[in-house]
Structure 1
């Protein structure tokens, strides 16, 4: 993985957007996740700060901008600093 990038499944889990990493992998591989408008079909797709992610989760569509890459799966307030809601 390139410097300054992270796997999409790891980001979704670290940022507490999904409860488990396996659920994050299912979201990424389900074909309904987009990075900057491009469809993603694999959990190892790279995400970087500035990317806009759109995906369906818990009966709603989330559109978020990646602000920073988390170093760990920390507490919720720390995780929320890694992204901002676009819609």
Structure 2
């Protein structure tokens, strides 16, 4: 079975076209090697899929005949993604929120003065 079809069948991607584009961009790897969408896949291979800034790892257990329901997807793949990948994504969210709240717009004069004061202090400490 083609890798793009497999990823569509086990519901990693919503459409087969999206799975094909992901393979072409290098977001899908088999045993840490870049692949083409037409690559044939067999059992017991390790897939690395980069989606939403997370590197998911799946072990191929079996090949489905066609697209399967969400409840029985685990018969065809085993998710072996390390927990650190999800924790890293959570930390990234916190880092973005800490810098500037979403929707607050451009910095005000006070914000710019605070930023300038902070950067000026850094320059003075480096010169000493």
Q: Which 4+ residue blocks in structure 1 deviate beyond 4 angstroms?
A: none
- Which among 28, 32, 38 is matched to residue 33 of structure 2? 38
Gaps of 5+ in 1: 1-5
Q: TM-score, normalised by structure 2?
A: 0.60
Backbone CA RMSD of aligned residues: 1.1
Gaps of 5+ in 2: 82-128
Offset at residue 51 of structure 1 (A): 0.5
| Matched residue, 1:17 | 12
Q: TM-score, normalised by structure 1?
A: 0.86
Offset at residue 32 of structure 1 (A): 2.8
Aligned residues: 81
Partner deviation per Cα, 1:1-48 (whole Å, 9 max, x = no partner): xxxxx10000000000100000100111112321012211x2101111
Larger radius of gyration: 2
Higher relative contact order (CA 8 A, sep 6+): 1
| Matched residue, 1:3 | none
Q: Is the 8 A contact 1:73 1:79 kept in 2?
A: no
| Matched residue, 2:112 | none
Q: Which structure dedicates a bigger proportion of its chain to helix?
A: 2
Q: Distance in 2 between matches of 1:45 and 1:52?
A: 14
Q: Which structure dedicates a bigger proportion of its chain to strand?
A: 1
